[in-house]
């Protein structure tokens, strides 16, 4: 079984020299030397120390001299949560002009139908799509087949997967069938889309700097109290960021970790909270979890929600 029913995160681009630029900007605040001189002479060890000081003392402005661009495939439910983060830039797949994911789903049912997303917009073709979907729903109750088809166009919640809820999946397909029947009747794309479920896939390009990621997005969205899909996305982002700039993001994490880092004498990498090597110094987290339960809460939040 493929993982198409899950959201997907990909780092499209980033500023390779971000750690050095952040460290230089930080050092600039107490140095009379020009940027070029500081940048030329700063060592890798100094870069690590300056970044650690920034995070430890909450001096966030130098972290803004960075850029990370992500491509995220998720549900419309979660894309609406993501864009609430204001210090970022977004570009999203248009639901008025593209039914790419829906046509991929239909082409997986009937190979004779072209998977090209926008080529044929005739009413007869739309009616054909609706018939194909209804015929498929009527002919099978096989969970794996239904999941394989629905996953082409929708993010499927973990509890639906664990329950093998065919009724849920058929309702998704039924909504798409209705959507295409409305198009066949001459209803506009912008009006027909009102019948589509919010679990439909969308694609969004998101650009954030390190400060917004460390101080806002990751603390809120990596928390175990966050909704399961955006939590999965946030942890996926954190793992990707640690591969490219570990020196910046190794101390980032849920809000409990964010607050605990500022209460500590020395920073503790998130991996040590996950392995119980780092005991929180705060009495309770912002969500009121007591100290002895914080690490368990972090570990729970880090897990794939489809495996819980």
Backbone angles phi, psi at 284, to 5 degrees: -155, 155
- Collapsing DSSP states into helix, strand and coil, what is residue 170? helix
DSSP 176-230: HHHHHHHHHTT--HHHHGGGS-TTBEEEEEEEE-HHHIIIIIHHHHSSTTS-HHH
Catalytic annotation, residues:
221
Please state, in angstroms and rounded to a whole number, the distance separating the CA atoms of residues 6 and 109.
20
Cα 16 from Cα 215, distance rounded (Å): 21
* CA diameter of the chain: 76
How far the first Cα of the chain sits from its last, in Å, is 18
């Amino acid at each position: 079984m493929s993982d198409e029913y899950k959201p997907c995160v990909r780092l499209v681009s980033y500023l390779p020299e971000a750690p050095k630029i952040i460290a230089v900007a930080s050092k600039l605040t107490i140095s009379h030397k020009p940027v070029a001189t500081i940048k030329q002479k700063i060592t890798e060890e100094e870069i690590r120390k300056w970044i650690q000081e920034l995070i430890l003392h909450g001096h966030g402005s130098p972290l803004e001299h960075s850029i990370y661009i992500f491509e995220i495939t998720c549900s419309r439910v979660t894309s609406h949560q993501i864009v609430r983060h204001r210090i970022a830039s977004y570009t999203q797949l248009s639901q008025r002009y593209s039914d790419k994911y829906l046509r991929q789903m239909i082409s997986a049912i009937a190979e004779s139908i072209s998977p090209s997303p926008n080529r044929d917009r005739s009413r007869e073709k739309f009616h054909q799509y609706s018939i194909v979907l209804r015929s498929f729903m009527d002919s099978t109750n096989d969970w794996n087949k239904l999941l394989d088809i629905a996953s082409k166009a929708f993010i499927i919640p973990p509890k639906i997967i664990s329950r093998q809820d065919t009724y849920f999946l058929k309702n998704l397909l039924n909504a798409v069938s209705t959507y295409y029947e409305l198009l066949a009747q001459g209803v506009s794309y912008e009006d027909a889309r009102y019948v589509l479920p919010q679990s439909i896939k969308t694609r969004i390009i998101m650009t954030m700097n390190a400060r917004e990621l460390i101080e806002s997005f990751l603390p809120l969205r990596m928390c175990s109290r966050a909704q399961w899909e955006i939590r999965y996305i946030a942890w996926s982002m954190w793992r990707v960021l640690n591969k490219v700039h570990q020196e910046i993001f190794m101390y980032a994490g849920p809000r409990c970790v964010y607050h605990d880092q500022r209460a500590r004498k020395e920073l503790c990498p998130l991996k040590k909270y996950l392995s119980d090597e780092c005991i929180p110094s705060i009495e309770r987290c912002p969500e009121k979890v007591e100290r002895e339960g914080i690490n368990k809460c972090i570990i729970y939040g880090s897990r794939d929600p489809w495996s819980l």
